[in-house]
Structure 1
Amino acid sequence: MPSATLRQPPSIPKWGRPKQTTKKLDWAEIKVIDLSTYDEPNGKQKLAEELRDAVHHTGFFSVTGTGLTQEEIERQYDIGQAYFDLPLEEKGDPKYRCDFAKGNYFGYRAANEKKIMGTAVLDNVESLNIPKFIPSNSHEPFPHFLHPFRPEIESFSRRSLDIASKIFTLFSLILELPETYFSDQHRYDDASEDHLRYMMYHPRPAADDAKVQNTWSRAHTDFGSLTLLWSQDVAGLQLKTPAGEWKYVPPVPNGIICNVGDTLSFWSAGYFKSTIHRVIRPPEDQAHIHRLGLFYFVRPGNEVDIKPVASPLLRRLGLVGEDAEEREPVRGLEYVRERVKDYHDHGDYADKKGKKFKVRNLEIEDEAS
């Protein structure tokens, strides 16, 4: 990506946080972890114990006390909204597009270009995935419009992974591993498929939504290690509980919704739960809103081996044997690129209930309804 521009960023409109729904919804119970206590004496150990049940059973939790101010967070929403407000010929310039044929998810993905579930209804989500600001990504797309905002986007990107690294420390402690075990697999300066994402769901007519079972994002698990989603006030994100029920993920003031991804599930031999989730049409008092989201997706380093870890806890539970580290590994880049191609390199987001994704010894049920 080009070097930072020194001139003052142009003025852009302020994003207005939507009002929360007044409808009575079936909300999931989400554990909230306050990271402001992380550096207190025995703070990490206490937080790890607080988190254990959530990551083992639901895979979803929320963190507060991250050190990011609400002003800093909403500035990123301002930038994302300004980009999506651009004409399609500018934001969707071919040189900024995701190259799904190569499994590359960096860049811009346009809405209304793919069909849903074999119908004539079109996908209503557009996104911009911004890779880490490291030399190995210098050739990746970075839209010209964003050059003046680069310093603050880069700062937010780096601080996002700092937050994730604290969570990875808690995961390591839960599995009785050295504290830096998982953060060492996800260093900012190492090449990986990490990205900061701005995402916009555009409202659709109720009749069209009905044709696709009100689906805005089909049921899936996340590809990588950990997903950070800055708390979303437009209801629609749902998780599938261990009992098989769909429940709404509640907003958490000043919080980040987090969920375990598939690579953490692979590493932990399933002890960490990679939960199926989806996005559906919001309740009627919010169904007209353009639903803007802010994410950071953490992927394993390109050269990192993904295989069950020799954790004392996992051994006691019988989830891994003494030969755990001798299994054939799959490298981070290989896994993520193959997963992106499988999911996105086609013209129809069809239901894949019961189908599997497999790359050598790693297998996951890709989606479920």
Structure 2
Amino acid sequence: MADKVQGMPVIDFGPFLEGAEVEQRAVADQMRQASREWGFFYLAHCGMPADRLAQTFATSKDFFALPTEEKQAVAWQNAESNRGYVGIRRERLDPSRPGDLKEAFNLAPDQSEPGAHKNLWPAAPPHFKAVMNGFLDECIHTADRVLEAFALALDQPVDFFVDAHNRHHHTLRLLHYPPLPEGFQPHDGESRAGAHTDYGSITLLFQDEVGGLEVRTRAGEWIRATPIPGTVVVNTGDLMHRWTNHVFCSTPHRVNVAPEHCHRDRYSIAFFCHPNKDAKITCIDSCTTAENPPIYDSITAGQHLHEKLTDTYGA
């Protein structure tokens, strides 16, 4: 059963993971409605082990507590690799605004392809690589189950999306929003993360207890996506928006400087699920009719991602 928090649906994923076909269909239908109307929903009982999630958050905090020079030793270099440490104000998710008041670390599943980019592993904390690789495996498993539900929701073979993501060209992003100084006044609309849509197919977002994520409704109102323990926030990105001919929507969101939390650290972890770079994103047949022809030309997932990252970093 789908519940709601400030309008955003909360969907119990347990019946999809463990139930019969009729229960799976019911969950998929809820996800279709949420993705069409919101582009965002909370997913409860997604199967992510709580101890694994807690360990990953703790390790992320240990990394961001390192001296700046140690973090800069593994600094992000270019859009092609999209790996490494991103310093405060280095990124502008809204290119019309100043740099975001956050720092991040990007990593990805290891690739065996010739010339594949490698992760930039920091020297500390010593368990960082093992923890992150383990968490990546859990995220891939969870994302594949969500993609199976999306395929069912769109009357496609259950492995339709999973097959298009089977080379695991995903990105895991650790995020830290440092406390802001006493008397801080934002300049020119700066915020912790500017308004943007995500670039890939779906995103899994794990939040700590500190709020700040805001989602724009279809009416143009910004509402808070208040953290709910035991849930992951799922949203559909730009490529799913194109793939489904706007049946599933890519929704603008941001991280604002909430007055009650501006002097607290905020941590979150985002798993950006991205199709294989050579996957052709072409309108799905069940998402178009004679009255609703395809809106977009085909594009490869890799081309789309490179264009977006270049805009974001100005490089």
Q: TM-score, normalising length from structure 1?
A: 0.76
Percent identical among aligned pairs is 25
- Call closer, same or farther: CA 1:243–1:92 in 2, change over 3 Å: same
Cα deviation 1:311-332 (Å, max 9, x = unaligned):
2xx23484346xx9xx853222
> 2:97 matched to 1:124?
no
* Separation in structure 2 between the aligned mates of residue 196 and residue 150 of structure 1, nearest angstrom: 12
Letter aligned with residue 344 of structure 1 = Y
Q: Secondary structure at the match of 2:192?
A: strand
Aligned to 2:226: 250
Matches within 5 A, 1:34-183: 34-38=12-16, 39-42=18-21, 43-93=23-73, 96-100=74-78, 102-113=79-90, 123-136=100-113, 137=116, 139-145=118-124, 148-183=127-162
1:297 pairs with 272, 292, 295, which one?
272
Aligned to 1:5: none
* Separation in structure 2 between the aligned mates of residue 205 and residue 293 of structure 1, nearest angstrom: 20
* Separation in structure 2 between the aligned mates of residue 92 and residue 85 of structure 1, nearest angstrom: 13
Cα deviation 1:149-169 (Å, max 9, x = unaligned):
433321210111111111111
RMSD, aligned CA: 2.5
> 2:221 matched to 1:260?
no
* Separation in structure 1 between the aligned mates of residue 177 and residue 299 of structure 2, nearest angstrom: 33
- Call closer, same or farther: CA 1:317–1:57 in 2, change over 3 Å: farther
Aligned to 2:262: 287
Letter aligned with residue 59 of structure 1 = G
* Separation in structure 1 between the aligned mates of residue 50 and residue 63 of structure 2, nearest angstrom: 20
Letter aligned with residue 329 of structure 1 = S
- Call closer, same or farther: CA 1:76–1:46 in 2, change over 3 Å: same
Moved more, 81-90 or 30-39: 30-39
Question: Does structure 2 conserve the Cα–Cα contact (< 8 Å) formed by 1:30 and 1:250?
Answer: no
Deviation, structure 1 residue 110: 0.8
Letter aligned with residue 234 of structure 1 = V
* Separation in structure 2 between the aligned mates of residue 304 and residue 220 of structure 1, nearest angstrom: 23
- Call closer, same or farther: CA 1:36–1:181 in 2, change over 3 Å: same
Q: Secondary structure at the match of 1:145?
A: coil
Structure 2: segments with no counterpart, 5+ residues? none
Deviation, structure 1 residue 191: 5.3
* Separation in structure 1 between the aligned mates of residue 178 and residue 25 of structure 2, nearest angstrom: 42
Aligned to 1:33: 11
Q: TM-score, normalising length from structure 2?
A: 0.88
Aligned to 1:16: none
Structure 1: segments with no counterpart, 5+ residues? 1-26, 347-369
- Call closer, same or farther: CA 1:335–1:147 in 2, change over 3 Å: farther
Q: Secondary structure at the match of 2:47?
A: coil
Question: Does structure 1 conserve the Cα–Cα contact (< 8 Å) formed by 2:243 and 2:283?
Answer: yes
Letter aligned with residue 102 of structure 2 = V
Letter aligned with residue 180 of structure 1 = D
Q: Secondary structure at the match of 1:295?
A: strand
2:172 pairs with 196, 202, 206, which one?
196
* Separation in structure 1 between the aligned mates of residue 234 and residue 52 of structure 2, nearest angstrom: 19
Deviation, structure 1 residue 205: 3.5
* Separation in structure 1 between the aligned mates of residue 271 and residue 132 of structure 2, nearest angstrom: 12
Aligned to 1:338: 307
Aligned to 1:319: 292
* Separation in structure 1 between the aligned mates of residue 81 and residue 185 of structure 2, nearest angstrom: 29
